[in-house]
Amino acid sequence: MAQSLDRLRESPSQTAGPYVHIGLTPNFCGIGGVYPTDLGATMVNDKTKGERIGLRIRVLDGTGTPLKDALIEIWQADADGLYNSPAELRGAADPNFFGWGRCATDMDTGLCAFETIKPGRVPFRDGSLMAPHITLWIVARGINLGLHTRLYFSDEEKANAEDPILARIEHRVRVPTLIAERTGDIYIFDVHLQGEKETVFFDS
């Protein structure tokens, strides 16, 4: 017998369930007066640097039906590509941009709307630049472990073409599942949980 490594194991995940709103967006589901606002509901203010954009995200199940009880969190760099996080050692991020947002899908339409800024490029491990992207984390009833993926931008063709994560996708027909389509200042992004258009989800 060798010595024990004395490691613990990560707590196993359990679904967020149908009532995730009570805990994470109580004001959205009518539980007022406990918190002044729902966390992550507002991402930008007048002083935030960068191009204002909107994201319109839906999550679709294996029949193509939008989930009406999902919750999406996003995490992104500021306009200069810096994260507002202690682990960001390259410089101070925009103090007017927290970088994290949270939105429950609309209970009737399944639509999630974020108002944010276009992130700058962030370096990959080898120093080359990743294309601008936003990290998504999706939970819902029926999802046993939160799903991790990214949203890239349709008008960043050149950067997308050299992105090291997109480059790792073996089946190139699946790359567009990570690219949001721009219409005006709005990016449309459908996340497909299953099927021919299943979104590329990450294990990272």
Partner 1 sequence: MTAESGSNRRPETGAFFQRDRTWHPPALTPNYKTSVLRSPQKALLAFDNTLSEITGPVFGHAMLGELDADLIHNFARPGESALGERIIVYGRVLDERGVGVPGALLEFWQANAGGRYRHKKDGYLAPLDPNFGGCGRAISGEDGGYAFRTVKPGPYPWPNGPNDWRPSHIHFSVFGHGFAQRLITQMYFEGDPLIWQCPIVRGIPDKAAIETLIAALDMQATVPFDARAYKFDIVLRGRRASLFENRLEGN
Member of 62, 92, 157, 162 binding partner 1 (CB under 8 A): 62
Cβ 124 to partner 1 shortest distance, Å:
6
Q: Which amino acid is it at 43?
A: M
CA angle 183, 140, 97 (to 5 degrees): 50
Chain centre distance of CA 37: 21
Member of 80, 88, 106, 115 binding partner 1 (CB under 8 A): 88
173 binds partner 1 (CB under 8 A): no
Determine the Cα–Cα distance for residues 67 and 108; give it in Å rounded to an integer: 9
Using the rule CB under 8 A, give the single segment among 110-118, 151-159, 179-187, 196-204 that binds partner 1. Answer: 196-204
Asked if 116 and 84 touch (Cβ cutoff 8 Å), the reply is no
199 binds partner 1 (CB under 8 A): yes
Q: Is 45 or 184 the residue whose CB approaches partner 1 more closely?
A: 45
203 binds partner 1 (CB under 8 A): yes
Q: Is 127 or 184 the residue whose CB approaches partner 1 more closely?
A: 127
Chain centre distance of CA 160: 17
Cβ 160 to partner 1 shortest distance, Å:
15
Determine the Cα–Cα distance for residues 86 and 80; give it in Å rounded to an integer: 16
Determine the Cα–Cα distance for residues 120 and 78; give it in Å rounded to an integer: 6
Member of 53, 57, 140, 180 binding partner 1 (CB under 8 A): 140
Strands 179-183 vs 112-117: parallel, antiparallel or unpaired: unpaired
4 binds partner 1 (CB under 8 A): no
Q: Which residues pair with 59 in a beta bridge?
A: 191
Cβ 119 to partner 1 shortest distance, Å:
9
Using the rule CB under 8 A, give the single segment among 44-52, 108-116, 134-142, 154-162 that binds partner 1. Answer: 134-142
